[in-house]
Amino acid sequence: MIVASGRSHRHVGAVADHLLRDIKSSGFPAAKVEGLPACDWVLLDAGDIIVHIFRPEVREFYNLEKMWMTADLGNQDQA
């Protein structure tokens, strides 16, 4: 999974469009796309690779990275 940010709606859409063209020209099956009309959060599902492209405010709101954060284990089993 790749999580990326664009600076604006237009930038998010351009990054997504560029990735879609690269995926297609590389001979991979067409990626599934969600969110391209609004360009706040675009999801590209290319099977083994999933790409999330956010505007900064939307990325901060959803905070997907938090799902993979490890818990602070500093207080456990201190010797």
Quick one: pLDDT at residue 67?
Answer: 81
Q: What is the CATH number of domain 2-66?
A: 3.30.460.10
Question: What is this structure's pTM?
Answer: 0.81
Element (H, E) at 61: helix 56-62
When pLDDT is cut at 50, 70 and 90, the band that residue 76 belongs to is low
SS3 79: coil
Task: Please name every residue paired with 43 in a beta bridge, in sequence order, or none if there are none.
Answer: 34, 52
Q: In the numeric block, which tokens belong to residue 55?
A: 């505007």
d(CA 21, CA 67): 30
Task: Assess whether pLDDT exceeds 70 at residue 78.
Answer: no
Q: In the numeric block, which tokens belong to residue 31?
A: 């990626």
d(CA 34, CA 41): 8
pLDDT digits (tens, 9 = 90+) for 22-58: 999 999 888 999 999 999 999 999 988 999 999 999 9
